[in-house]
Structure 1
Amino acid sequence: MELVSSPNPHFIPGYTGFCPQYKYRIGNTYGTTTHKVLLDPTVHHAEKLVLSDRYADDYKTFRPALRDIDIVNERQGDTIYKHPMVPGYEGFVPREHAEYGQRYTVQATEALSDFEKLQNQKKAAMNEIIKVGYLQDNKWDPKTLEEKQLTQSDFKLPLIEVRPECGGLLRNVPVTEPPLTPPTASVSPYFSDNIDPEKYLKSGFTGHVPFGFASFGKTNKAMTNSNLCDFTSNYRKRLSNEWAPVELDRPDPPILIQPAEIYHKHIGQLPNYSGHIPGAIFRYGRTYGNDSRDAKRWLRGDFSN
C-alpha cells in the first residue's frame, strides 16, 4: 500500500501553486517529494496548510436562516408564499432573480424574506411621515413616553391668514443692479495678440510649450509669454510666405477644342485596340501596327495591302 499511495501530508499531483525547495528535489514522485518537503524542518514554510481543515471545527451554515423562515411564515393571509416553496413553481417570486447559487427552496425563502423586510421599511417611513403631519396639525395623540417627548412645531397647519386684505398687494421696490460684463470669446494663447496680458500658460501646464527648449532662468509667466510670442510671430510669417496659396499663371484654354484624330496616316494603332479598322478583316500577312497605318485608305478606295 505504501507503493501505491503517497503518505500524508502531501500536495495532490497537478497542484500548480508554490512548493518551496521542490525544484531542487529529484528522484521521487510529486506526492512523495512534497511530503518530504512539508515535513523537512530545514525548509521554511507556513505553519498552517493553505486550505483550512473543515473537519476540525463545527462551523456549519444552514440556509435559509430560521429568522428568514419566520418572516415568510408570518405573512398574513398568504397561502402561496410559504416555506418551503415547492421546486417547479412557475409563478412570480419577488426578488428571486437576485438570488443564485442555491436550491430553489432556499432562494425563494431568502428572496421573500428580503422583500418583506423592504416592505416593512417602507411602511415605517410612511408612518413617520404621517406622524409628522399629525404632529404639525396638532392632531397627534401620543400614547408612549417616546411619542410625548417629540418636539411639536410652533406653527400649526393650515396657516391662518392674519390680514387677508393685503394678500394681493405687491411692492415694487427698484433695485440697482450692476451692469453685466459682456462675454468675450476665449482666444487660445497660441494665436492671441502678442500684447495680450493673458498670453501665457498657467503654472502646472503639462502640454507642449513651443520654443520652450531654449528658455530657462525665468518665471513661468515670463518664459511662456516669450515662447508664445515667438511661436505666434513665426506662425504668421510662415502663413504669409511659405503657406500662402500658390497662384499658377497659365494661358487660357482655346474656345474650340478640335477632336483628336483616331486614324493617323503615318502611325499605326496600338495592339489590342478594340475599335474598328476599315478593311482590316479583308487583309492579312502584316502586323497589326503596319496594317492599321493610314486606315482611311480603304475608305478612299485604295484596297492594296
Structure 2
Amino acid sequence: MGFKEELSFAPGYSGFIPTLGESFGHTFGIATKQILDENLSLKQGRIQKEREAAKAARRAAAKQPEHNVVWGQEKTWATGDDRFSFPPVPGYTGYIPRSKEHFGHSYVQTTSESLSEFQGMMARKNELPPRVKAVKNAHQPLIPEPTYEGDQRPHLFQYTSYAGSPSPSRLPGRDAPRTFPSGYTGFVPRKQNIFGESYSASVKKAIDEFTAPKQAVEDRTRHEKALIHKQPIPGFTGFIPSASRTIAQTFGRTTLIAYDSFNNRDERGKPAPSQDDVPIAKKLKDQRPIPGYRGHIPGKQDL
C-alpha cells in the first residue's frame, strides 16, 4: 500500500508501520502522520524532502547540473595544485571537503555532492552577503555616472606621493637635523659604543659611524699593534703580558721573554714563542742555578 497525499495511513491498515510501537497517547491518524513526517528511515518523509530540496538549491547555487560529477571526463590526474580536479579512486581514504556532511549514499554520490557543495562555497566566497548587497543597492547614486570612451575620462585629481619625514640616518653627512630628538628611547645603531657625551653628540657620532663607507670604517678601526720597549722596575708586581708562560727564570729574563712574545704576537693576539726562551735542561749539570737560590742541590753536602 502506498503513501497517500495527506501523509497518513488509512484507518484499519494492519500492515507494518515503522516505530508505531513507540508512539503513545495519539490516535492512529496522528501517530502515523508524525511517523511519516519525522521518521528518518522513510524516503518520502518531510525531512527527506527538505534535504532533497536543500541539495537541489546547493546544486543550483554551485551551477552544477544534477547527478553530474565535479570533474571532467577528460581529466584523469590532478592539475597543478588542485587535487580535487580528478575523480578519486574508489576506496580512497584521504581528505575530501564536506564529505562528513553527506552520508548514507554510495561513495561516488557522496563524493560528488561533497565536492559540488565545496565548489559552491568557494564560488560564493567572493560574493557580498545579502544584507550588504541590500545596503549597497539602497545607496545607489541618484545621478548616473557618465560614460567615456577610450582615454576621454578627465583626470580630476593628481596624486603625489608623500615621502614623509626622512630618517636621520638617511640625511646628508653635514645636515643639521642629523640626529634623533631628545627623549627618543628607540634603537640608535652604534650608540652603545659611545660614552661620556651628550645625547645629541653621541647620536650624531653613532649615525656618522653607521652610515660611513665600509672601507672608511675598516681603516678607522685598524689600529697599529702596540709594542713594549720598556723594562719594568725590579720588584714590580703588576701584570706582565704572557709572563705566566715562562718559568724557572730570573725576573729580568722573564720580562724579556714575555715582552718578546707579546711584541711578536699574531693578528688574533696570540703570543708567539720567544727565541730567548731556553727550555729547561733535563740534566742538573746543564742547568745554571739562580743567584740566591736556597733550594736543594744534590751532592752539595759532600763538598
Q: More helix per residue: 1 or 2?
A: 2
- Give the TM-score of the pair, scaled to structure 1: 0.23
TM-score between the two structures when normalised by the length of structure 2: 0.23
